[in-house]
Amino acid sequence: DQLTQQLRQALARAELRLHLQPQFDIEGRLRGAEVLLRWQHPHQGLLAPADFVPVAERSGLIRPIGAWLMEQSIALLAGPLRGSGLRLSVNVSVQQLHDDTLVEQLDALLSRHCIAPGHLVVEVVESLLLAPGMEARLAKLRALGVEIALDDFGTGYSSLRYLQELSVDEIKLDKAFIDPLHQAEDAPLARSIIAMVRTLGLRLVVEGVESAHQVDFLRRQGVDLLQGYHLARPEPPEAFLARLDARA
Ligand code: G
Ligand code: G
Ligand code: MN
Ligand code: NA
């Protein structure tokens, strides 16, 4: 269809953008960002992933697009972010891990640019872990010094078993678990999950933080990183990089 055709040309026409949503520790220090894809569509304005990532996945275009995004992200780590200690977290679709192409691309990029381990995080959703061969491929990524984050945690199936059996470095608690704090003082389910993840020694990132009340709650629970509109919206790389100069 038309959108697929336009998306096919979007890479060559340099219409894709990456936005960065800052992640902060509990003391409010900037620690990194999640990389979020945007498409500056010639007629429809700036499109969010929901508008075109499904099309990209169905058409296979997610692979060249994902490869481009990874290159851009590593260029940021190797360039303006070098020495900052900040990390970037990049979303990856199941199609991108279908074979070892991504592993090979990252192996080449990381060694060419001398990126220290732990600065690049790959975010995968729980359902991806069900696909054959995924465990081995994620293990190869980890061997390269890439960390693995389980995204949208708690919204898929079998999450608890994965925590025990798979080697992931980080859990991203889905926004849905802290939404109750908009109406209530407490969110017992969030509290329990946070305690469990901490017991397992995994890093915990909470997404969708929209209020000071949520920040207070999460500080008491001892989460590692916070991400959400209350702290910062996704922003163009220039805006994110301006934060480096503003840091104390
Ligand atoms: O930016 P936004 O809040 O609209 O992101 C919505 C969703 O789109 C995110 O949950 C994320 O999983 C997905 N997404 C964003 N960027 C990328 C990307 O580069 N690749 C893939 N596969 N998904 C992405
Ligand atoms: O990868 P993932 O699907 O988790 O992507 C996060 C998505 O959530 C992005 O599209 C981002 O724009 C969005 N987002 C980030 N912070 C907030 C927030 O505080 N509230 C809401 N409603 N959405 C958020
Ligand atoms: Mn994500
Ligand atoms: Na998420």
Distances (CA, A) of 115 to 1, 80, 176: 39, 13, 34
Quote the pLDDT of residue 160: 76
Per-residue pLDDT of 93-115, as tens digits, reads 999 999 899 999 999 999 999 99
Q: Where are the domains of the chain?
A: 2-246
Q: Once rounded to an integer, what is the mean pLDDT over residues 169-183? A: 96
Q: In this model, does residue 86 exceed pLDDT 90?
A: yes
Residues with CB under 5 A from ligand 3 (ion): 91, 123, 151
Atom of ligand 2 nearest to the CA of 230: 19
Q: In this model, does residue 126 exceed pLDDT 90?
A: no
Cα 107 to averaged position of ligand 1 atoms, centre (Å)? 23
Atom of ligand 2 nearest to the CA of 234: 12
Angle between helices 49-59 and 62-78 (to 10 degrees): 120
Angstrom distance (rounded) from CA 87 to CA 73: 10
What ipTM was assigned to the predicted interfaces of this complex?
Answer: 0.94
In CATH terms, 2-246 corresponds, of 3.20.20.450, 3.40.720.10, 3.40.50.300, 1.20.1440.230, to 3.20.20.450
Atom of ligand 1 nearest to the CA of 49: 8
Quote the pLDDT of residue 246: 85
Cα 185 to averaged position of ligand 1 atoms, centre (Å)? 30
Distances (CA, A) of 80 to 53, 76, 204, 241: 28, 6, 26, 7
Quote the pLDDT of residue 204: 97
